[in-house]
């Protein structure tokens, strides 16, 4: 598995990262904890995946607990880079205060059975009432923990792309990592199109792209009931998923699902190498194997171009998330935007 530098953090991470929210049952029950242990072990030992991402929010701390159990069986703490989050604890439960940051980090370390955390990110920052809370309270609290050596690097996560420049331009803290989700995938390339990817990369912030399957929109099974996408986006993704299943054999000679197209597209075709790692949700050993296999297979250009055409009417459609301050467009804040759709235009390597 190719490894890439994560901004200026000093960490080198696998191009495919292990998204552990499904281990908290976020998308449905997992096969078993034994199967999760096997998935984590094989991810590290057989496939060279070394980045794991979780949060106390996922499954009401269950993802951290299960992941901690899995990682504890690896033995070598240096074999992986472990990322978790602070600030979001339930669907409508947020606390970005400095006091909660410190307590949350200690609790996460206990559940994850580690003595240090490599990356701690402010989770879904758009839900803070004001950006000043993140810039002036949450990030400084995390920076103190970084200074003390309790955590290695600090970051931000959120859906609206404008949150990154808004906060980074106004905080005195050096932010190491930005985790964006659902904005670098088959139906949405706005992370690159908006100029935010270039902005982050040029600042030396390590960029993580999460949810390359758009939280289930780009799967045969479809999204979970809680998925916030607008109906048109859901309908176009479902139609594209059906089309891939029905036409894969005639295009490639083997069965292919939309997920097996969407994952390599996100990893290889978006971002020109400026995304350090793509975090895909892994719920089982079987899902891990499918995804590693999908990354190794060549991308079928006919399938890809047809799916991009089918998704064009809803390209870069997203959904509102968080407080009013975070809802404005990131594009006017950037010096120049990159050409929309540029990554989908040619044959991906």
By CB under 6 A, name the binding residues for ligand NAD.
Answer: 19-22, 27, 53, 123-124, 157, 179, 181, 210-216, 219, 257, 259-260, 279-283, 287, 290-291
Neighbours of 236 (CB within 10 A): 20
Q: Indicate the residue whose CB is closest to ligand NAD.
A: 281
* Shortest Cβ 156–ligand NAD spacing (Å): 9
Of 156, 118, 123, 112, nearest to 10 by C-alpha is 118
Q: What single-letter DSSP state applies at residue 60?
A: T
Which CB sits closer to ligand NAD, 22 or 344? 22
Nearest distance from residue 18's CB to ligand NAD, in Å? 8
Q: Among the options 11, 58, 96, 265, which is catalytic?
A: 58
CB of 282 to ligand NAD, least distance (A): 6
11 counts as catalytic: no
Structure-block tokens of residue 147: 């200074």
Instruction: Give the C-alpha distances (Å, rounded to integers) separating 117 from 8, 74, 120, 153.
Output: 17, 16, 7, 8
Residue closer to ligand NAD, measured from CB, 159 or 173: 159
Residue ranges of the alpha helices (H) in 16-125?
33-45, 62-72, 98-112
Cβ at position 234, least distance to ligand NAD in Å: 14
- Residue 172 CB partners (closer than 8 Å, separation 6+): 140
Nearest residue (CB) to ligand NAD, 192 versus 208: 208
The residue (of 69 and 290) whose beta carbon lies closer to ligand NAD is 290
C-beta separation of 333 from 190 below 8 A = no
User: Which residues sit opposite 277 in a β-bridge?
Assistant: 208
- Supply the residues annotated as catalytic: 58
């Amino acid at each position: 598995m190719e490894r890439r530098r994560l901004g200026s953090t000093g960490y080198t991470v696998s191009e495919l990262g292990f998204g552990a929210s499904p281990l908290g049952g976020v998308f449905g029950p997992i096969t078993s904890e034994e199967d999760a242990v096997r998935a984590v072990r094989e991810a590290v030992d057989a496939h060279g995946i070394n980045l794991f991402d979780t949060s106390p929010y996922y499954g009401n701390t269950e993802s951290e607990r299960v992941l901690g159990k899995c990682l504890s069986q690896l033995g070598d703490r240096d074999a992986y880079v472990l990322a978790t989050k602070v600030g979001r604890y339930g669907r409508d439960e947020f606390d970005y205060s400095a006091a909660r940051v410190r307590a949350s980090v200690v609790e996460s370390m206990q559940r994850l059975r580690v003595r240090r955390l490599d990356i701690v990110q402010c989770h879904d920052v758009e839900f803070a009432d004001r950006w000043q809370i993140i810039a002036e309270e949450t990030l400084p609290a995390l920076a103190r923990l970084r200074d003390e050596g309790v955590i290695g690097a600090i970051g931000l996560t959120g859906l609206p792309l404008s949150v990154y420049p808004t906060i980074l331009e106004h905080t005195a803290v050096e932010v190491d990592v930005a985790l964006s989700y659902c904005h670098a995938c088959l139906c949405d390339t706005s992370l690159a199109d908006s100029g935010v990817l270039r902005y982050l990369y040029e600042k030396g912030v390590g960029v993580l792209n999460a949810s390359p399957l758009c939280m289930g929109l780009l799967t045969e099974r479809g999204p979970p009931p809680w998925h916030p996408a607008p109906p048109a986006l859901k309908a176009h993704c479902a139609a594209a998923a059906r089309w891939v299943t029905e036409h894969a054999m005639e295009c490639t000679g083997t069965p292919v699902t939309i997920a097996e197209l969407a994952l390599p597209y996100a990893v290889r075709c978006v971002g020109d190498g400026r995304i350090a790692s793509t975090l895909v949700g892994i719920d089982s050993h079987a899902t891990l194997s499918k995804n590693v296999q999908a990354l190794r297979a060549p991308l079928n250009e006919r399938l890809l171009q047809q799916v991009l055409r089918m998704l064009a009417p809803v390209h870069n459609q997203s959904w509102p998330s968080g407080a009013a301050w975070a809802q404005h467009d990131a594009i006017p804040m950037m010096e120049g935007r990159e050409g929309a759709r540029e990554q989908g235009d040619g044959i991906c390597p």
